[in-house]
Structure 1
Amino acid sequence: MPTHPGFRSLQSEVDNKQLETQGTVPAWLEGTLIRNGPGLFDIDGTRVSHWFDGLAMLRRYHFSNGNIRYSNRFLRTDAYADAADGRLTGQFGTDTRGWRRLIEPLRSGLPTPTDNTNVHVARIDQEYVALTEAPRRVSFDPETLQTQTEFEFTDEITEHLTAAHLVDDQDQRELIGFATQFGRVPQYHIYKIPYESRQRERITSVDARGPAYMHDCSVTDEHIVLVEVPLVISALQTLNPFSEGIQDLLSWEPDRGMRLLVIERESGELIADPIVDSAFVFHHINAYIDDDTIILDLIEYSDNRVLDAMQMQQLDAFSSSPAPDGNPIRYQINITTGSVERSPLSDVGMELPRIAQPDVSGRHRYTYAQLTDQEGGNGLVKLDCDTGETREWWEPSVYLEEPLPIRDPNGHADDDGVVIAPALDVEEDRTTVMIFDASTLEIQARAQLPHSEPFGFHGRFFPSMQTETHPTIN
């Protein structure tokens, strides 16, 4: 059975190739989109078991003077070196070693966690850093994508799992994240990272129920919101010699309900933690404060089956039972009374939601996401979070990845700008970087890459490149 092109290992690397463009790239679009995701799934004849375990590959799309230049490069990590020697290591669902590296330090101080940082990127203290949920980070050169050094914070916050999503609040010039500490009383440590610092400043620590597997969070200008889903990490299961990665350590316990933790950014006080009906959440859209109510928008699933649907065995088989659709949901949390109202924003299936960067932590109207409820492809959906109206773009056999809206600096409306996303056409076996009008979703420009890319996860657009110089690892 053929491998789906989106989950096929890529061997080639390209350096700063100018792409032939159809259409017009807006003159104001200047900057670099750097994306992260798995690029290699097969090591010495053995295939990883879960999509999340492919080796990290960075992808760079540079926009300047109406042109697009493209690069891709694997991170030269310990995990990459293991693969070069024919050893497959994982961290989510492939083998015991990758995940046990997270757990063993609790019991015996044995080896450090995997450094396969394949989930996201961030700029921290002028360094560009690749991130994953294991507590290791790898810096890279944003111009060449060459691996530099392992990035280390200068603080002493204990972390056994950590946030790959750091919320970038440009108004307050800081990144917000959280880390999970296991132990007799597990805790979540919530922290901020000032722009010009490599020291995390602890905002507070909150006792965990479980703890839970959490992937993302939201911030308002005054609050941080965590969603503690009832997908519990079992400490007892870590002792099972037959467990194969984090998935075997997770237990879906819907009777617990889902806990919404609201923390004041300035004081660190936990001001609300209502429990609502159980659901599973990967990604948040955004949050903002409206009088005494926090508006929290996110993508929600009825349970955690979406994780099983990402097993390579199902993905490779072009499964007739596709992954369940996530739906956009709004929670209104009254911080005075603790009451919560839940309402769907739309019944359209979507994932990987993004809003324009200037709206992060403030009132947002539009979110752009991968349209998931189409057969034979994924499209682009624009959701008006005020009205629930949607606008969609879709073409047969085309799978669009995470869309990133970039606002026109000279625009006036909330949807003035463009949306950038790579798109894989499985019938043509080619990947194209697409530029859509953010208002109409009409295609403004497209450029074919020199190879088909495997599906990636997340990325950021950097309007300017500021970096420190470090030795690179070839």
Structure 2
Amino acid sequence: MAAKAEDDLDTTSEPLPQWMTLDKDSDTKTPVDTEVTGTIPKWLDGNLYRNGSGVYSVGDQQLDHLFDGFAVIHRFIIHDGEVKYQSRILDTDTWVKSCKANRLVVSQFAAYAYPDPCKGMFDKMTSYLLPLSADNMTDNTAVNIVEYGDKLYAMTETTLINEVDPQTLLRKTKVDLRDTVAVHIATAHPHFDTDGTMYNLGTCFNPTSAYSIVSIPPPQPGVDGAEAFKQATLLTAIPSRFNMHISYNHSFGMSENFFVVLEQPITLNILKVVTTNWRREGFASNFVKFPEETIAFNVIRRSDNSLLPVTFQADTTFCFHFVNCYEVEEHLVVDFCGYEDINIIDDLYLKNVMSAEYKAKIPPATFRRYVLPYNVTEAEDDVNLVQVAGSKATAYMKTPGIIHLTPDYITDDKIRLELPRINYQMCNGKKYRYAYGTSILMAEERLMKVDLEQRKIVEWNEVGYSPGEPVFVPKPGAKAEDDGVILSPVLSNLPNTPSYLLVLDAKTFKEVGRAIAPCDVKMAMSFHGSFVEGQDFGSKSSAPAESAHTD
């Protein structure tokens, strides 16, 4: 197994936060009323769906890593100034089989699982020989939930995608991208074009075609969502610069004319990947870090899917999440949250996250703006090629064909921010002014609004609570970029104190209202979510009333 938390850390004296105590009976299957304080705008009408690791044990087995937990889907039903809350453990094959066996039977991000005891000897041997087979790959889609066409999909970093019933929050169908395109894993952070086309970054464990942009056309009305995924195509294939290693990516960037794929110093060792089951270790054991290596920016023209001939590099950093990318004056601006310490994945083992002492030491992600002059092919080595007014970023061609970048941190003390969101509908791939994020799991947990023009931040926090990813919802007919509200689930870290949904005015970043869940409701941590307008979304539910794991 990959490096675990330090054994000498003692967290037993501190009570676990509420989100760490969920079990198979802790979900809220039927929507419950919340207590609204302040005012929920009447124009805010729809459902906020959230997804994340929620259950960290099965039987007597405890899982190891923040990314190991079984998926819990959340739904905040917002209508006429009132809010109801609902949550369900997603009834994936991984969850159902593990419940029946009373232990984990499909390996997760870090946790290794022995083969299903119900399998025969031949099937067990196949599990060892084929670590990326359909039976071995987890369908525990516990990272993101997105609207695609008129369907709702839960995603993780495998090629398996689950359609979720918007009313019951149970699974309807499962899609496997490998049935159509040659990729082994994919991100949980697709991008969407204005015509509804979905794009994603797929990784193939073939070093000559390691990174591919997957294009999935918009589904036609009345056509089953799974059929649209069958039309997926690969737009490009980029080789890995690492010998027998392929960079790990959690997300990618998209502007109006470019895709941006990072080659990061955290890599997957191909030989380790294919021997994962023989070694009886989780997927995270395949990571190999190269702290002395640069991070590379692969820039792909969307017009012909060609890779720019110039190589862009920067000092070592690691990125989970892009913020936005856009073009200005023949420069490509790439904003993401970067970690200077590339050990962040090891830091997120639960024993570390639960230790106040260790948690204070976890290095934060900081907002970084890189500026790439994409039409430069040669230059003097002492000339800063960034010609964007007011930018503090630099780009020097110290070696022919290679441009070295340094970022603009926006503020002098750097902005500690993760789980970033923007006004996606208005600004994705375009010049923008505002970004929103949280410092959840850091020593000081708070929400932030970043004004990129004024280079200022505004914060919101409440002691004893952990605010989650802030989702921006525009006001109907809004013209200003920040005319709307921010929705964030706020988890209680205090005993016998309820969690709630926070509503902030996006302009002022002041609280306008909150919807407080009943004290007996356990609200799991969620990583990402989507707001879907209207109350008729998915009204023609076809999923069963109860999950299969309740039998």
Q: Name the residue aligned to 2:340.
A: 302
Q: Name the residue aligned to 2:382.
A: none
Q: Name the residue aligned to 2:162.
A: 138
Q: Which amino acid aligns with 2:213?
A: I
- Correspondence 1:217 to 2:256: no
Contact 1:117 1:138 in 2 (8 A): yes
Q: Name the residue aligned to 1:75.
A: 90
- Correspondence 1:345 to 2:410: yes
Q: Name the residue aligned to 1:193.
A: 216
The structure 2 residue matched to 1:113, chosen from 134, 137, 140, is 137
Q: Which amino acid aligns with 1:388?
A: R
- Correspondence 1:446 to 2:514: yes
Q: Name the residue aligned to 1:41.
A: 56
The structure 2 residue matched to 1:156, chosen from 161, 176, 180, is 180
C-alpha offsets along residues 218-244 of structure 1, whole Å, 9 cap, x if unaligned?
111111111121111012323364462
Please list, as runs of the form range in 1=range in 2, the aligned pairs for 1:420-431 lying within 5 A after superposition. Answer: 420-428=487-495, 429-431=497-499
User: Percent identity of the aligned residues?
Assistant: 25
Q: Name the residue aligned to 1:9.
A: 22
Please list, as runs of the form range in 1=range in 2, the aligned pairs for 1:255-274 lying within 5 A after superposition. Answer: 255-271=292-308, 272-274=310-312
Contact 2:159 2:177 in 1 (8 A): no
Following the alignment from structure 2 to structure 1, what is the Cα–Cα distance between the partners of residues 433 and 129? 44
Following the alignment from structure 2 to structure 1, what is the Cα–Cα distance between the partners of residues 543 and 166? 13
- Correspondence 1:28 to 2:66: no
Contact 2:51 2:72 in 1 (8 A): yes
Q: Which amino acid aligns with 1:27?
A: K
- Correspondence 1:385 to 2:400: no
- Correspondence 1:410 to 2:477: yes
User: SS in structure 1 opposite 2:85?
Assistant: strand
Please list, as runs of the form range in 1=range in 2, the aligned pairs for 1:249-288 lying within 5 A after superposition. Answer: 249-271=286-308, 272-288=310-326
| Deviation, structure 1 residue 469 | 5.6
Following the alignment from structure 1 to structure 2, what is the Cα–Cα distance between the partners of residues 250 and 361? 31
Following the alignment from structure 2 to structure 1, what is the Cα–Cα distance between the partners of residues 214 and 533? 25
Following the alignment from structure 1 to structure 2, what is the Cα–Cα distance between the partners of residues 97 and 439? 51
Contact 1:38 1:456 in 2 (8 A): yes
**TM-score for both structures, normalised by structure 1:** 0.92
| Deviation, structure 1 residue 118 | 0.4
The structure 2 residue matched to 1:432, chosen from 500, 505, 512, is 500
**TM-score for both structures, normalised by structure 2:** 0.80
Which of the pair is proportionally richer in strand? 1
C-alpha offsets along residues 157-194 of structure 1, whole Å, 9 cap, x if unaligned?
1121111111123x242221011111353511102222
User: SS in structure 2 opposite 1:270?
Assistant: coil
Give aligned pairs, total.
Answer: 471
The structure 1 residue matched to 2:353, chosen from 315, 318, 336, is 315
Following the alignment from structure 2 to structure 1, what is the Cα–Cα distance between the partners of residues 33 and 429? 36
C-alpha offsets along residues 288-326 of structure 1, whole Å, 9 cap, x if unaligned?
111211111100001322211210121233344432111
C-alpha offsets along residues 42-95 of structure 1, whole Å, 9 cap, x if unaligned?
111211010101001100012121111211001111111133121214321111
The structure 2 residue matched to 1:327, chosen from 354, 363, 366, is 366
Q: Which amino acid aligns with 1:384?
A: D
Give the stretch that moved more between structures: 52-61 or 223-232. Answer: 223-232
Following the alignment from structure 2 to structure 1, what is the Cα–Cα distance between the partners of residues 40 and 61? 42
User: SS in structure 2 opposite 1:13?
Assistant: coil
C-alpha offsets along residues 242-271 of structure 1, whole Å, 9 cap, x if unaligned?
462222111111333111011112211112
- Correspondence 1:206 to 2:220: no
Q: Which has the larger radius of gyration?
A: 2
Runs of 5+ unmatched residues, structure 2: 1-11, 116-123, 220-227, 378-402
Following the alignment from structure 2 to structure 1, what is the Cα–Cα distance between the partners of residues 472 and 287? 34
Following the alignment from structure 2 to structure 1, what is the Cα–Cα distance between the partners of residues 543 and 195? 31
Contact 2:17 2:494 in 1 (8 A): no
Q: Name the residue aligned to 1:90.
A: 107
Following the alignment from structure 1 to structure 2, what is the Cα–Cα distance between the partners of residues 399 and 471? 33
Q: Name the residue aligned to 2:272.
A: 237
